Amino acid sequence: MKVVALVSGGKDSCYAMMKCIQYGHQVVALANLMPVDDSVDELDSYMYQTVGHQIIVSYAECMGLPLFRRRIQGSTRQAFMQKLLNGACKAYFSVSNEFCGLFRHEKLTYTTTPGDEVEDMFILLNEVKKQIPSVGAVSSGAIASDYQRLRVESVCSRLGLVSLAYLWKQDQSLLLQEMIASEILAITVKVAAMGLDPTKHLGKDLASLSPYLHKLKGLYGINVCGEGGEYETLTLDCPLFVNARIMLDEFQVILHSSDSIAPAAVLHTLAFHLEHKKWQCSLPGSGETQEICLENKGSVFEVEGDSAQVCDAAVQSAAEVLDSITIAENKLHISRTQKGDTFSICCWLEHSANSSTGVQEDLTAVLRRMELKLAEYGFGWENVLYIHLYIADMKEFTTANETYVRFIKQEKCRFGVPSRSTIELPLLEVGLGNAYMEVLVANDHTKRVLHVQSISSWAPSCIGPYSQATLHKNILHMAGQLGLDPPTMILCEGGVTAELEKALENSEAVAKCFNSSISTSAIVFVVYCSARIPSSERHQIQDKLDVFLKQIRPSHFNKESISEAVDPIFLYILAPDLPKRALVEVKPILFIPEDIEETNGTLKDPSCIRGPSCWGFQHESWHDQCIKKCVVPGELCTIILCVTSEVAMKLGSATSGDENRTDYDNYFTEEQLREISRFCIYLLDRVITENGFSWEDIMYLRLYFPTSLHVPLEKLSFMFTNAFTELAAMDQTLKIDNEPIFNLVPVVGAGNSATSMDDIFTCELMARRL
């Protein structure tokens, strides 16, 4: 991509440009925001470094690139208002937790605010885009500031640009070492931290100051890259400066605070000159010709004017197309669990063999129906924690995504957009439409969302209205992770094990942002496997997963922030295809006991467990082999139940008395399937009640079945609905509504082992009493 680089003059923005070139991008322009008054060194800004701005004008000549500059007209208005509101929130203890939570979320998010300093960046980059239409991305030097990253991402989203933040979440000690090794010559132009003396440390180059910075880190815990405002730098030379280096001739130290512990001072430049280098035709790796290099050399443009509105014609046109789509309401079906505070809703479309509708029409109908269903409960997309999006053909992923983002927008999700996983399922084979959606909904606004849209070296970006992870009441719902190389967003080479390892590394990077690890806090791993993986290689998936978790687990046991490790359970789903033609996708769910709350209600007395009268099933030892569970006593219960052909044989022999039957692999009578459905509900009921939970605690219940059963979904739904009705007759506390409390999900195969994804039914259940 062609990139415009946000430059402050500091080491970070310069090194970020170098990383862009390393990953194959082309820096074609520079952009800088500066004070209105040239004599002012530093503004009270949460966004921009301005110390040393007097020298930035020379970057155009040093690099042979056009420089676009704008004087900062706005102030930190939104941040200031939020600061006041947060103060008010703390002052009045009677304010509800939900109200305070609103401002905890809002202080990082950004909405278009006239007069805010962020709008100056929008105007600046909008002008760059007008002058250089081929620009597709923006580079910034963000390392740890969510405040800055989110605002750059917001501006990029409005302008249709990609945010590149290759320094994001990198280890600061290693990053500082890399910058020095890459021959960036940067000096300190501001100091404001314990241990940094303006008379000794201002004007020092990073290479000589590095050992002392690491010493201060050990003594006081400072950020060695200055991310906490400890110091700021000015780059005088680096490999990007192909034409000249900057030489300071005269400067003075201006003391802003004489605090005896952490004095603050800046270095004000009075005079400088450029020392020209041997002529070079281009930036390293830019591929620019001599002619273009000379044309751009030294050109500086000052951008003025007010905020320009981005044209929404294309979006409006698309909306008109969607308005013309109508699908009969009786073809849309809903299921919903009964839990009051966190529950799942599923919507699918009955497919007609004569129908010519595609994924856009079907998904539009499903999204509309889901929106109406949420509204019935007084909710909207902002209440959604997680979305499972299933489509019939992964080749239609782009169309599906375009339809999705027209309904689920960041503007509708003020507390953060939901996390998401997308896979292809054999929907049409079982009489469903081209799209099928399940959403996990919460009736409060206490979720914490991690949504990084910048491409970086940290983890794969989520460019659009879907997040990497959502934390709600101690459960972290992580988006499906592919084996993508984060800086390039390309699937790694090396086959299924290489993809799986990278997907797990990406999952671990996301978990670390929540002070956790998939090796110690994961309760469930759902691993989606492409049907393109040869059956002879599927054992490698399970082996690699086991080895990876064992390798990283010991490093977390000594950390106080990591709780005692839980033993996760595993579910493997065989799908026709995955996004980007990936071979594997990992979806971990973690239990992170941050804010322990009291358990709601009263735990169910295990003595109330239904006995043998439940359909006449007698508990046998082999029943336990069907169940994998992870239980946090009194708080959480997750279950994977697998009904294999062997289990079906035992059930069949128990009812027919024939222990020698072997014909269960390919065909089941309706009566046999009815018996299996009852057994599934019986066993799930026994496990949840044994552990002190009830059906009213169920957050979600998915029933996976293979299309090789050759049974219509409608018939299976009827069987399981009857099973619940019969259970309700035995237990008056279980209320059955018109809508099913389970989701039937058609798959190629499923199981708790990667080598035997051939279950007749696989049940995935989560119950919570937090």
Residue range 463-496, pLDDT digits in tens: 889 999 999 999 999 999 999 999 999 999 999 9
Q: Name beta bridge partners: 211.
A: none
Please tell me the least confidently modeled range out of 203-212, 310-319, 513-522, 668-677: 310-319
pLDDT digits (tens, 9 = 90+) for 358-385: 899 999 999 999 999 999 999 999 999 9
| Tokens representing residue 749 in the block | 């195969």
pLDDT digits (tens, 9 = 90+) for 748-763: 999 999 999 999 999 9
SS3 754: coil
Whose CA is closest to 193, among 202, 184, 185? 202
Specify the pLDDT at position 314.
36
pLDDT digits (tens, 9 = 90+) for 116-131: 889 999 999 999 999 9
User: For the residues 616-627, what does the mean pLDDT come to?
Assistant: 88
User: For the residues 571-594, what does the mean pLDDT come to?
Assistant: 96
Specify the pLDDT at position 769.
85
Whose CA is closest to 22, among 167, 145, 224, 161? 167
Whether the pLDDT of residue 297 is over 80: the answer is: no
Which has more confidence, 45 or 84? 45
Q: Which domains does the chain have, with CATH numbers?
A: 2-79+107-281+296-302 (3.40.50.620), 329-445 (3.30.1330.40), 447-552+565-594 (3.30.1330.40), 626-654+669-769 (3.30.1330.40)
Whether the pLDDT of residue 319 is over 90: the answer is: no
Whether the pLDDT of residue 723 is over 70: the answer is: yes
| Exposed e or buried b per residue across 230-257, where buried means at least 16 C-beta atoms within 10 angstroms of its C-beta | bbbbbbbbbebbbbbbbebeebeebeee
Report the share of the chain in percent with pLDDT over 70: 82
Whether the pLDDT of residue 390 is over 60: the answer is: yes
Dihedral angle sign, alpha carbons of residues 423, 428, 430, 433: positive
DSSP 298: T
Query: Considering just the CA atoms, what is the radius of gyration of the chain in Å?
Result: 29
What value does the mean pLDDT of the chain take? 85
Specify the pLDDT at position 99.
36
Whether the pLDDT of residue 316 is over 90: the answer is: no
User: For the residues 574-603, what does the mean pLDDT come to?
Assistant: 80
459 confidence band (pLDDT: 50, 70, 90): very high
Specify the pLDDT at position 429.
92
Specify the pLDDT at position 260.
78
Nearest 5°: the CA angle 387, 531, 455 is 50
Specify the pLDDT at position 561.
44
Report the share of the chain in percent with pLDDT over 90: 64
pTM equals: 0.88
Q: State how far the Cα of 694 lies from the Cα of 139, in Å rounded to an integer.
A: 51
| Exposed e or buried b per residue across 539-572, where buried means at least 16 C-beta atoms within 10 angstroms of its C-beta | ebbbebbeebbeebeeebeeeeebbeebebbbbb
Dihedral angle sign, alpha carbons of residues 196, 197, 198, 200: negative
Whether the pLDDT of residue 285 is over 70: the answer is: no
Q: State how far the Cα of 222 lies from the Cα of 196, in Å rounded to an integer.
A: 11
| Tokens representing residue 426 in the block | 């054999």
Q: State how far the Cα of 152 lies from the Cα of 147, in Å rounded to an integer.
A: 9
Amino acid at 329: E
pLDDT digits (tens, 9 = 90+) for 656-710: 444 444 444 556 888 889 999 999 999 999 999 999 999 999 999 999 999 999 9
Whether the pLDDT of residue 580 is over 60: the answer is: yes
Amino acid at 737: D
Which has more confidence, 653 or 54? 54
Specify the pLDDT at position 49.
67
Judged on CB neighbours under 10 Å (0-12, 13-18, 19+), 267 is: buried
DSSP 235: E
Note whether 21 and 5 are within 8 A (CB): no
Whether the pLDDT of residue 24 is over 70: the answer is: yes
Q: State how far the Cα of 138 lies from the Cα of 147, in Å rounded to an integer.
A: 17
Whose CA is closest to 189, among 178, 201, 179? 201
Specify the pLDDT at position 668.
81
Specify the pLDDT at position 478.
98
Whose CA is closest to 521, among 492, 556, 472? 556
Whose CA is closest to 676, among 707, 646, 708? 646
Dihedral of CA atoms 93, 99, 100, 101 in degrees, nearest 10, equals: 150
Whether the pLDDT of residue 312 is over 70: the answer is: no
Output the furthest CA–CA distance in the chain (Å, rounded): 99
Please tell me the least confidently modeled range out of 39-43, 108-112, 452-456: 39-43
